[in-house]
Amino acid sequence: MDDPVLLTGAGGRVGQAILRDLGSRYDWRLLDREPLSRSKLPEGVTSDDVIVADVTDEDRMHEVMEGVGAVIHLAGDPRPEATWESVLRNNIDGTHSVMWAAAKADVEKLAFASSNHAVGAYETDDRKPDLYRESDDYRLDGSESPRPSNLYGVSKATGETLGRYYHDHYGLSVVCVRIGNLTKGHPPRDYERGQAMWLSYRDCAHLFDCTLTADYGYEIVYGISDNDRKYYSIERAREVLGYEPQDNSAMFSLDGTPKEEYADQTPDGASSD
């Protein structure tokens, strides 16, 4: 991609995972509500590439979208317990503002950071805890309807629907990535659900790299690593995006320490620290 890539919410955890591995690969426009410290800027990216703005400011979004070739939209209130007032403004209005500006600017592609919370209510009492274990073959594959577990999930499901609208009516290529549990170095410790939906930093960066290079129309995929225990299928991400994750929560014990046989394969120099 020769044109600039706009990354909203660049200072957050997902944005930093993406920039850590892809910082030198694209011409970035980094957008956040707060200035980004030097430590959050990859090599080759300067403060001149940072835009301090709120995604709910429609006029500003139209300005920053000029000349952009693709968008990775991460900005919003990430709290599962976020209030309706917050998700309405930051997640729903903000996502609409970004997608509308992208459509008007003839941006080619937009990757939307959806969430496991958009389908969290599929985790019913009669499915748990077997759902989180390798022996269980239940899978969500992205073709199912949203079933949010909280208002944050409602906002992400709404963002997916907005993406469908802007694809169908404006030709914007949209991929919605239902992100699992992103942690650096090792899966969440002593947390079966988190290990089943683990997404490592390097797999996160690779997945969003795929969203910028692949050809697609409208897609919903799951953003997790290739864990032995999983209830989200990553087959659609493999097929459509060319996603080939390197990591697997099975390389770690439940307490997050690398298993001896995988010590030289685990990401980020993982240790028991």
Each residue of 6-40: pLDDT tens digit? 999 999 999 999 999 999 999 999 999 999 999 99
Q: What is the predicted pLDDT for the residue at 261?
A: 80
Secondary structure of residue 223 in the 3-state scheme: strand
- Coil vs helix vs strand at 71: strand
Strands 5-8 and 50-52: unpaired
Average pLDDT over residues 248-261: 91
> CB of 81 within 8 A of CB of 63?
no
For residue 104, give the H/E element and its range. helix 94-104
pLDDT of residue 106: 97
**pLDDT of 206 strictly over 80:** yes
Catalytic residues: 152
Statement: residue 146 has pLDDT above 90: yes
Res. 268 pLDDT band, cuts 50 70 90: low
What is the average pLDDT score of the chain?
95
What pTM was estimated for this model as a whole? 0.95
| Over residues 72-101, mean pLDDT | 98
Enclosing H/E stretch for 51: strand 50-52
Pairing state between β 70-73 and 109-115: parallel
What's domain 5-266's architecture? 3-Layer(aba) Sandwich (3.40)
Proportion of the chain above pLDDT 70, given as a percent = 97
pLDDT exceeds 50 at position 181:
yes
Is the predicted pLDDT of residue 199 greater than 80, yes or no?
yes
Alpha carbon 166 to its chain centroid, in Å, reads 19
| pLDDT at residue 166, as a whole number | 98
Polymer length of the chain: 273
Is residue 267 predicted with pLDDT exceeding 60?
yes
- Of 268, 220, 226, which Cα lies nearest the Cα of 250? 226
Count of Cβ atoms closer than 10 Å to residue 236 Cβ:
17
Q: What is the pLDDT of residue 263?
A: 73
How far apart CA 251 and CA 228 sit, in angstroms, is 9
Residues in Cβ contact with 137 at an 8 Å cutoff, skipping those fewer than 6 apart: none
- 192-227 burial: b if 16+ Cβ within 10 Å, else e: bbbbbbbbbbbbbbbbbbbbbebebebbbbbbbbbb
Across the range 87-93, mean pLDDT stands at 98
Closest CA to 166 of 107, 116, 209, 208: 107
Query: Is the model's pLDDT at 117 over the cut of 60?
Result: yes
Segment 145-166 shows an average pLDDT of: 98
Task: Please say if the pLDDT value at position 271 is more than 70.
Answer: no
Mean pLDDT of 49-56: 96
Q: Is the pLDDT of residue 273 over 90?
A: no
- DSSP H helical segments within 122-251, as ranges? 151-170, 192-196, 201-213, 235-236
Specify the DSSP class assigned to residue 11: T
